Amino acid sequence: MKQLSKFSAALILLLFLASCSSDDGADKDEEKPTITINYDDGFPQACEALKRGETYNFRALVTDNQALASYSLNIHNNFDHHTHDDQEGDCSLEPVKEPVNPLLVVDNYAIDGAPDSYEINIAITIPNDVDTGDYHCAYSVTDETGWQSRTSVDIKIVD
């Protein structure tokens, strides 16, 4: 019985020591990446008017404390006046309307090489036949750990 007790104590001590490690989480990524359009080349800015038939470079700066993995661009109509919790700017809206042929862009991209900073630069041509009116432009970025950040602005598509 005494031997079993010593064995149990040794086993508990061994398990305790094995559960301890030198990895104290110092390299654990607990920070979300950042995303901004608030710089000279950032596009579009809040309340920007985009003309049908024109091509625009949608640009945003993304950064992370360790490694970026992917980003997305989403442009969708705001004919129903919905909002997003990450929305910047306060723009005047046209009356609520039903979409007929709204612009919809949902593009996802990988960021190769795991950099800690990257400039998104996507050329988008606004088709001549899409509905004019209120839209949202939303960017999101994800780091290699899976943390995500996003930002969105109101824009208008005009003739």
Task: Name the residue with tokens 């710089």.
Answer: 39
Asked: is 29-158 a CATH 3.30.428.10 domain? The reply is no
Q: Alpha-carbon distance 115 to 91, whole Å?
A: 34
Tell me: cis bond preceding 115? Omega within 30 of 0 counts: no
Q: What is the pLDDT along the chain (159 residues), one digit of tens a residue?
A: 566 566 666 656 555 655 665 555 567 889 999 999 999 999 999 999 999 999 999 999 999 999 999 999 999 999 999 988 777 667 899 999 999 999 999 999 999 999 999 999 999 999 999 999 999 999 999 999 999 999 999 999 999
Burial (CB count within 10 angstroms: exposed 0-12, middle 13-18, buried 19+), residue 108: exposed
Assigned token pair, 144:
């290699």
Residue 109: C-alpha distances to residues 80, 99, 131, 140, 142 (Å)? 28, 27, 26, 10, 10
pTM, whole model, 2 decimals?
A: 0.82
Sorted by where each begins, the domain ranges of the chain are 29-158
